[in-house]
Structure 1
Amino acid sequence: MAGIDGSMAHLSDGLFTTSIAVYAVAMVGYTAEYAFGRKGRVAATMPVRERELVGGGGPPAIETIPSTVLPPPAERSFADRVGRFSFAITVLGALFHTTSIAVRAIAVDAVPWSNMYEFASVSGLVGVIAFIALLWRAPQIRHLGGLILLPVILVMFLAGTVLYSKAQPLVPALQSYWLAIHVTLVAIAEGAFMTSAVLSLLYLAKQRYDRVSVQPGFRRGAFANLAARLPDATSMDKAAYRIVAFSFPLYTVAIICGAIWAEAAWGRYWGWDPKETWAFVVWVIYACYLHARATAGWKGRAAAWVNLAAFGSIIFNFLIVNMVISGLHSYAGLS
């Protein structure tokens, strides 16, 4: 295997840092659109009953909306321009991010996701791409970009600091074409799962606000101001479900490929290694989530909590199993 190209590795690190900065700029722009845009301001003042009619396709009761809640056309135009600019910046950040991963691959002369830093970087990129793809189908949730990018930036910051690992050759156990297949599928699935988890969390916030805001004595606080500006709860719940429905088969294939790789490397398909065990736990919980969505009594809030529990298991698997528990999959790359 060729040696490490230090200049390319340094360039990759610089592009990684640049992508974080670009994502941060986009997040600020999305937050401005969220706070000052027409959709957020109308949602914050629209009566709950009317929001339900609009979200369900029914005729909105226009006369119940005070005319003062609509900002002047110039403000709407400015917020829309900020949102479009933020989307363009997000795409630019994704390009920087993709280039960073590609240059890292050239530097190590292998697929660049053999340690926690590289895996977190790839998963963060997938989360951003999932959001970009989601906007093509549901552009009305663009102003939520700040809430989607925040966990991505946090993951990348953690990767670039606590989890950072210098570019280095693959250890012998990872020198296999199965690395590109197995880990790629896992990174794609878990990056998309992150976006789904954020949408489920926002759905729960919106669903709770819609439920309590009609009760007598309701007082609007900071949480209510945040939740009031969110889109229709049903649309966010459906988006979260569709992402999981797309990603779950990829995760399933990834586990199967991992078992085949384990047989070739260690002489057995499954050995209940801590990483294998928690990967199976994650698979079972997501299977329960999809089953819950297909069961009338578990749709909505209960299913959303199952989705969050599944992603919580992914976080446990990524951080605790990799950094605390030792096993055959201990390739964190941390000193």
Structure 2
Amino acid sequence: MILAAATNEGLAQMSNTLVYSSMAVYTLAFLAHIAEWVFGSRSKVGRTAAALTGKAGAAAAPAVTVQVKKAGGTAVLDRPKVVTRAAAGTREVPDGPGAAGGTVKGDLYGRIAISLTVLAFAVQASGVVTRALSVQRAPWGNMYEFSTTFSAVAVGVYLAFLLAGKNVRWIGLPLVTTVLLDLGMATTMLYTESDQLVPALDSYWLWIHVSTAIFCGAVLYLGAVATLLYLFRDSYENKLANGGEPGGFARSVLERLPAAATLDKFAYRVNAAIFPLWTFTIIAGAIWAGDAWGRYWGWDAKEVWSFITWVGYAAYLHARATAGWKGRKAAYIALIAFACFLFNYYGVNIFVSSKHSYAGV
């Protein structure tokens, strides 16, 4: 019989200290992001309005331009250029310059915010690793550990997008805000002492199934942020296109975001890319259930809500390919699907009695 390893209290305490330290650094990053947006709001805005105004005079029907060149007395027709008005939800407007809005001072604070976010991520990741070392197992055996790991992975994915050269700095402020809320809840309401696993979780499937669930959730979170911002930006563009005049605050913030079409495309791509892995997560959970409980599916609350989440994102992807359901309607479906994921994450573990009730609270 293999005896469970004793908890290393020194490493467990170090993990707690590192998590609290990361919260302090995330707070500084939050303040730097706020400064980035405040100083960025002083930059010139109106690029979207100018683009939409320039297209306002376009004819509803295609306009054909024909140029005639003379070559040796023979008339030569250039290939006709067809100019059409952009379809609803796909208007060709420029992306905003990012959170800083193009100002030097705003950009400086933005760089400071990213640097602090990198530091906070490193400290938090160290806290997750030391928690794992304190009990020599995967650091997601209860809700506290799941929450600290989940937020660390979300920040890691965001930083990976930045490292790849993607213009996602606009995610920084909502991300850091959410991470602070997540860690605050984890260290107060969900905190659990470092200890060994309950027998049902003591399996190599814990590394496979739960790790993929955490990664999927982190990517789905970024997609949800992009979807929510898309709805605000799309309303802003619609108001400008209809001759409306948005308020100063809305203009200074929304003008600096990517265009609605860009946000919609980003959300779709990350959701579509992670959907197969979420499918694998459910399948892996079913295989683990077969090993642990002798059945692959038992309509347990966690199983049901995982499947509901899968159906929600499947409906979103289908809606994106269906005429009349693109744009805002599909975005609402995506947000509902993510709400199902959140309920599966918090609600089922805390409020529902099931075989998956391992919150430790």
Tell me which interval the TM-score lies in, with the shorter structure as reference length: 0.7 to 0.9
Report the count of equivalent residues.
320
Normalised by the size of structure 1, how large is the TM-score? 0.87
Determine which of 3, 9, 12 is the counterpart of 1:9.
12
Contact 2:18 2:124 survives alignment (8 Å): yes
Q: Could you tell which deviates more after superposition, 114-123 or 145-154?
A: 145-154
Any idea what SS the aligned residue of 1:298 has?
A: coil
Contact 1:193 1:244 survives alignment (8 Å): yes
Aligned residue in 2 for 1:290: 317
Aligned residue in 1 for 2:28: 25
Pick closer, same or farther for the CA change 1:45–1:6 going to 2, 3 Å. same
Question: 2:340, 2:53 → 1: CA distance?
Answer: 33
Deviation, 1:219, is 5.1
Rg larger in 1 or in 2?
2
Counterparts of 1:186-201 in structure 2, within 5 Å, are 186-201=213-228
1:46 aligned partner, one-letter code? R
Deviation, 1:51, is 6.4
Contact 2:52 2:240 survives alignment (8 Å): no
Contact 1:34 1:144 survives alignment (8 Å): no
Counterparts of 1:1-335 in structure 2, within 5 Å, are 1-37=4-40, 41-42=43-44, 44-50=45-51, 76-137=103-164, 139-215=166-242, 218=245, 220=247, 222-223=249-250, 225-334=252-361
Question: 2:93, 2:336 → 1: CA distance?
Answer: 37
Question: 1:112, 1:53 → 2: CA distance?
Answer: 55
Any idea what SS the aligned residue of 1:188 has?
A: helix
Question: 1:275, 1:29 → 2: CA distance?
Answer: 38
Question: 1:119, 1:173 → 2: CA distance?
Answer: 16
Write the deviation string for residues 260-302 of structure 1: whole angstroms up to 9, x where unpaired.
1100110000000011000000011011112222234322211
Q: Could you tell which deviates more after superposition, 302-311 or 289-298?
A: 289-298
Normalised by the size of structure 2, how large is the TM-score? 0.81
Question: 2:274, 2:244 → 1: CA distance?
Answer: 42
Larger fraction in helix? 1
Deviation, 1:155, is 1.4
1:200 aligned partner, one-letter code? T
* Structure 1 vs Structure 2 CA RMSD: 2.6
Any idea what SS the aligned residue of 1:118 has?
A: helix
Deviation, 1:41, is 3.0
Deviation, 1:30, is 2.2
Gaps of 5+ in 1: 61-70
1:307 aligned partner, one-letter code? A
Q: Could you tell which deviates more after superposition, 24-33 or 137-146?
A: 137-146
Write the deviation string for residues 175-194 of structure 1: whole angstroms up to 9, x where unpaired.
10001110000001011111
Contact 1:30 1:142 survives alignment (8 Å): no
Question: 1:256, 1:101 → 2: CA distance?
Answer: 26
Q: Could you tell which deviates more after superposition, 46-55 or 244-253?
A: 46-55
Runs of 4 or more consecutive aligned structure 1 residues displaced over 6 Å after TM superposition: 51-60
Contact 1:34 1:143 survives alignment (8 Å): no
Q: Could you tell which deviates more after superposition, 4-13 or 51-60?
A: 51-60
Contact 1:141 1:231 survives alignment (8 Å): no
Gaps of 5+ in 2: 56-85, 95-100
Any idea what SS the aligned residue of 2:192 has?
A: coil
Q: Could you tell which deviates more after superposition, 17-26 or 322-331?
A: 17-26
Calculate percent identity across the aligned residue pairs: 40
Question: 1:58, 1:240 → 2: CA distance?
Answer: 18
Deviation, 1:225, is 4.4
Question: 1:327, 1:52 → 2: CA distance?
Answer: 57
Pick closer, same or farther for the CA change 1:9–1:53 going to 2, 3 Å. farther
Contact 1:51 1:232 survives alignment (8 Å): no
Pick closer, same or farther for the CA change 1:152–1:53 going to 2, 3 Å. farther
